[in-house]
Amino acid sequence: MKKCVPRDHKIHRHCFTNSYSVIEPFLTEFPNLYVGFTALITYSKAREARNAVRRIPLNRIVLETDAPYFLPRQVGKDVCQFSHPGMGIHTLHELSWLKGEDEATVLKTIRNNTSLLYGI
């Protein structure tokens, strides 16, 4: 990416599910790179992604649903079989818990990150 993408380019690393060691060099090299997390982080078995959430600065994170995939742990398939944007609140709750921050602060920061990334 260093050869093809300008250092200050805005980047959304979509649906990150890996470890911090994988994303850390990208965060260092690209100051406008944001890491997207889905409801996958609501599952305790997603250890690498959950640990990455804890280590990545909140001002570098955006939330995604990746609908129709990644149904939140809290939503049973008997309630809904597919993820949708309305379920993003579950990811916000989990992100807040993993970061040890109140939800209002996390939501405000995530909204700001999204605005900076997409200009909206």
* Confidence (pLDDT) at 76: 73
For the chain, list the domains and their CATH numbers.
11-118 (3.20.20.140)
The pLDDT of 78-103, averaged and rounded, is 92
Distance CA 45, CA 65 (A): 18
Residues 48 and 21: beta-carbon distance below 8 Å: no
pTM as predicted: 0.93
Examine the pLDDT at 9 and tell me if it is beyond 90.
Answer: yes
* Confidence (pLDDT) at 22: 97
37-77 per-position pLDDT tens digit: 999 999 999 999 999 999 999 999 999 988 888 888 887 78
* Confidence (pLDDT) at 73: 83
